[in-house]
Amino acid sequence: MKKVEAGDLEGYVSLAECYWNGDGVKKSKTKAKELLDEGAQKGSGECAYRLGMLYEKGLTVEQNYETARSYFMLAARSHHPAGTYKLAYYYQYGYGIYKDQEEAKKYYQQAKDLGYQE
């Protein structure tokens, strides 16, 4: 809680996990999502990536590839390896965006440069 109050972006992820699982706090997936959203808006690539995955899989939210893609784009802008990879995948297959093989190649390369490994 103190890390979030201090603006520590990793604190948003940790506290969201606590709410998601009910570790030390009352379980609330809604609160977890709110914390992830707040962290993503403040620049946390990990928060943005996790939100993208929630929307991709339809966990606690309605499945929406466009919204997932927008969160993966935020993650990529924050140099998050897995988020960048997911964005490349979305461009390659046209999930939530038009297909664009050149953009896909660009983001796959960025993900690799960031250390992403399948």
CATH of domain 2-113: 1.25.40.10
Q: What is the pLDDT of residues 70-118, one digit of tens each?
A: 999 999 999 999 999 999 999 999 999 999 999 999 999 999 999 999 8
Q: What is the pLDDT of residues 16-36, one digit of tens each?
A: 999 999 999 999 999 999 999
**Closest C-alpha among 8, 7, 79, 28 to residue 49:** 79
